A and B are shown apart, each in its own frame.
Chain A
Amino acid sequence: MSKIPEKLNYTKTHEWVKKEGDLLTIGITDHAQTMLGDLVYVELPQLEMNLSAGQECAVVESVKAAADIYSPVQGEVVEVNEDVIENPQLINEDPYGKGWILRVRPFDPKGAKLLSADEYSKVVASEAH
């Protein structure tokens, strides 16, 4: 069973979201990295790019597949994790820590509709067959 930390929020498209002050840190879940397999390449968005909710903002690529990462909120990209460009495996090894992908400043701090850990584990369970 993959790890789904209680204190984070999630999306149906397997991103995790962590509120840090008025910023949101975004990455992909343990479940997502397991499904993709060994990651070999990550494409990050430009800084200061404006995202709409649900917009593709990054791409992670394994030897088998390439998957889009969708922004859970409307906002501006304020930071990207350069370390995962050099070492995409960080996402496999530590998806909720060193493998974070980008930080976004949401335009409306209360606007995001996110899942709780409990709700997300149901999403994962429903896909598990």
Chain B
Amino acid sequence: MPFIPHTEQDVKEMLKNIGIQSIENLFDEIPASLTQVSLKAIPSGVSEMALRQEMAERAANDGGMLCFIGAGAYEHHIPAAVWEIATRGEFMTAYTPYQAEASQGSLQLIYEYQTMISSLMALDVSNASLYDGATALAEAILMAVRLSKNGKSSLLIPRSVHPYYREAVKSIVGQQNIKLIEIPYQETTGKIDVDMLSAMMNDDIAALVIPQPNFFGVLEDVDQLTDWAREQKILSIALVNPIATALLKAPGEWGKEGVDIACGEGQPLGIPLASGGPYYGLMCCRQSHVRQMPGRIVGRTVDKEGKQGFVLTLQAREQHIRRAKATSNICTNQGLMVTASTIYMSLMGPNGLRRVATLCHQRTRELVDALTTIPGVEVVFEPPYFHEVLLRVNQPVKAVLSALASEGIQGGFALNEAYPELADCLLLCVTETKRTEDIKRFAHALRQVLAGSFLSGSKAACQA
């Protein structure tokens, strides 16, 4: 099908027909102060060759570092077959399958994805994916408010949820009169304190967000928290890392009855670290909540001859039909990322995923054991943790990180901005990609840095 844009004549006729002078007039309702901004910081275009050269130069800056940063983006091994298959033309160029009968391949893939994710989460239904983990959490919160019906509009959200997620949630739900009540973490454990929750409870609260693991890598008492929410007659929203879920209890099995909604970032399942994206958000829920679930859902059915076919189902609530009253206006799915994830999960299988998760945890323990023998390093929160851990160091974090970077090691995520009270701590992550010798190399470098052998030099560099 050729792409034929409107000719000048077409445009003129259309404008004449609706009685306006120019296309710009269609946007008159946008204040001029917003449309006439000068973008001085953005340079004019460059040639393809110049662009390639600049990007190659920048890409070279990424390479070769030994990375121990997680904090929401995780380096995992991705089998070569994943992107070899995902970048085939049939998958690569497929867009949201509006014309279901002509997109059976795309739909079947999404159906398989939904089946895998819902079984990983032990919940009835998965959607076809959302934009990313942070927006999936915002959508889960909006969904919980819709489900609670009787005007409840407050949410309990722990401060131990990823700070960027909390910012994204504020941006999205803050405009919709939803009040976010932040739950402090316990100073000694890093976990949510159920007694404190009870003290914060009020009649306007619609749901509780339960991160597992939380931003500090700490495992929450998810059974107790889920049961508490049920006792209060509020909904529970699990925010999970899918790799961790392969090893830990699935959200659908938390507590006596499981959570109502589970969401999270899909990146760990086969999506590489690539300057922050693209990622995808996953979302599952109980069957009884499905009408309020945002996004697309693919269903399997039979045609009039009894042959298997796939359809986009439950579309009546979506924006192309229900416009402003749609359950969500971010309801496209991250097709290509989901394709890669589905292939990744198919290759790994449940056992493979469990082995990845187990290795991540073992390597993290190995790192903790190695680093805590160094004078000046201590674990902040007691175990259990999954594959991230918070360590306190007795030297300024910024200087330590820059000294490690000069040794080719990205030595953790600094918490000073999001958690000023933890400004002397490093958030570290170890996945299956780190070998014992990598961990030894990190431990050796950190020991030297903290012993002051090259800290003073880089400190001066920092201040300069």
What residues of chain A have their CB less than 8 Å away from a CB belonging to chain B? 41, 43, 46, 61-66, 68
Q: Are B150 and A46 in contact (CB under 8 A)?
A: yes
Whole-angstrom distance between the Cβ of B376 and the nearest chain A Cβ: 59
Question: CA A46 – CA B317 in complex, angstroms?
Answer: 20
Known contacts A41-B291, A43-B291; decide if A65 and B321 are in contact (CB<8 Å): yes
A to B CB contacts below 8 Å, 20 in the list = A41-B291, A43-B291, A46-B149, A46-B150, A61-B291, A61-B316, A61-B317, A62-B316, A63-B316, A64-B316, A64-B321, A65-B316, A65-B321, A65-B322, A66-B316, A66-B317, A66-B321, A66-B322, A66-B325, A68-B325
Most buried by A among B149, B291, B316, B325: B316
Question: CA A43 – CA B317 in complex, angstroms?
Answer: 12
**Which residues B79-111 have CB closer than 8 A to chain A?**
none
Chain B residues with CB under 8 A of A65 = 316, 321-322
Main secondary structure of the interface of A (DSSP, over half): strand
Question: CA A66 – CA B317 in complex, angstroms?
Answer: 6
Whole-angstrom distance between the Cβ of A56 and the nearest chain B Cβ: 8
Chain B residues with CB under 8 A of A68 = 325
Residue on A nearest B146 in the bound complex, by CB: A43
Chain B residues with CB under 8 A of A63 = 316
Question: CA A55 – CA B266 in complex, angstroms?
Answer: 40
Residue on A nearest B149 in the bound complex, by CB: A46
Chain B residues with CB under 8 A of A66 = 316-317, 321-322, 325
Chain A residues with CB under 8 A of B149 = 46
Question: CA A112 – CA B89 in complex, angstroms?
Answer: 60
Whole-angstrom distance between the Cβ of A74 and the nearest chain B Cβ: 18
What residues of chain B have their CB less than 8 Å away from a CB belonging to chain A? 149-150, 291, 316-317, 321-322, 325
Chain B residues with CB under 8 A of A43 = 291
Residue on B nearest A61 in the bound complex, by CB: B316
Question: CA A112 – CA B291 in complex, angstroms?
Answer: 32
Whole-angstrom distance between the Cβ of A88 and the nearest chain B Cβ: 12
Whole-angstrom distance between the Cβ of B370 and the nearest chain A Cβ: 57
A62-B316, A66-B316 are known contacts; what are 18 more A-B pairs with Cβ within 8 Å?
A: A41-B291, A43-B291, A46-B149, A46-B150, A61-B291, A61-B316, A61-B317, A63-B316, A64-B316, A64-B321, A65-B316, A65-B321, A65-B322, A66-B317, A66-B321, A66-B322, A66-B325, A68-B325
Chain A residues with CB under 8 A of B316 = 61-66
Name the 5 nearest CB pairs between A and B, nearest first: A66-B316, A61-B316, A46-B150, A65-B316, A66-B322
Chain A residues with CB under 8 A of B291 = 41, 43, 61
Chain B residues with CB under 8 A of A64 = 316, 321
Residue on B nearest A45 in the bound complex, by CB: B149
Residue on B nearest A43 in the bound complex, by CB: B291
Chain A residues with CB under 8 A of B325 = 66, 68
Whole-angstrom distance between the Cβ of B322 and the nearest chain A Cβ: 5
Question: CA A63 – CA B321 in complex, angstroms?
Answer: 11
Question: CA A64 – CA B316 in complex, angstroms?
Answer: 6
Chain B residues with CB under 8 A of A62 = 316
Residue on B nearest A44 in the bound complex, by CB: B149
Question: CA A61 – CA B150 in complex, angstroms?
Answer: 21
Question: CA A22 – CA B389 in complex, angstroms?
Answer: 66
Question: CA A86 – CA B320 in complex, angstroms?
Answer: 27
Residue on A nearest B150 in the bound complex, by CB: A46
Chain A residues with CB under 8 A of B150 = 46
Chain A residues with CB under 8 A of B322 = 65-66
Question: CA A68 – CA B317 in complex, angstroms?
Answer: 11
Whole-angstrom distance between the Cβ of B288 and the nearest chain A Cβ: 12
Whole-angstrom distance between the Cβ of A64 and the nearest chain B Cβ: 7
Question: CA A43 – CA B316 in complex, angstroms?
Answer: 13
Question: CA A76 – CA B150 in complex, angstroms?
Answer: 14
Whole-angstrom distance between the Cβ of B463 and the nearest chain A Cβ: 61
Chain A residues with CB under 8 A of B317 = 61, 66
Question: CA A46 – CA B151 in complex, angstroms?
Answer: 10
Residue on B nearest A68 in the bound complex, by CB: B325
Residue on A nearest B292 in the bound complex, by CB: A43
Chain B residues with CB under 8 A of A61 = 291, 316-317
Question: CA A43 – CA B150 in complex, angstroms?
Answer: 13
Question: CA A1 – CA B316 in complex, angstroms?
Answer: 26
Question: CA A61 – CA B316 in complex, angstroms?
Answer: 7
Question: CA A64 – CA B317 in complex, angstroms?
Answer: 9
Whole-angstrom distance between the Cβ of A13 and the nearest chain B Cβ: 14
Question: CA A41 – CA B317 in complex, angstroms?
Answer: 11
Question: CA A60 – CA B325 in complex, angstroms?
Answer: 13
Whole-angstrom distance between the Cβ of A89 and the nearest chain B Cβ: 16
Chain A residues with CB under 8 A of B321 = 64-66
Question: CA A63 – CA B311 in complex, angstroms?
Answer: 12
Chain B residues with CB under 8 A of A41 = 291
Residue on B nearest A46 in the bound complex, by CB: B150
Whole-angstrom distance between the Cβ of A42 and the nearest chain B Cβ: 10
Question: CA A61 – CA B149 in complex, angstroms?
Answer: 17
Whole-angstrom distance between the Cβ of A60 and the nearest chain B Cβ: 10
Residue on A nearest B322 in the bound complex, by CB: A66
Residue on A nearest B326 in the bound complex, by CB: A66
Residue on B nearest A40 in the bound complex, by CB: B316
Whole-angstrom distance between the Cβ of A102 and the nearest chain B Cβ: 15
Chain B residues with CB under 8 A of A46 = 149-150
Most buried by B among A41, A43, A66, A68: A66
Question: CA A46 – CA B150 in complex, angstroms?
Answer: 7
Whole-angstrom distance between the Cβ of A122 and the nearest chain B Cβ: 27
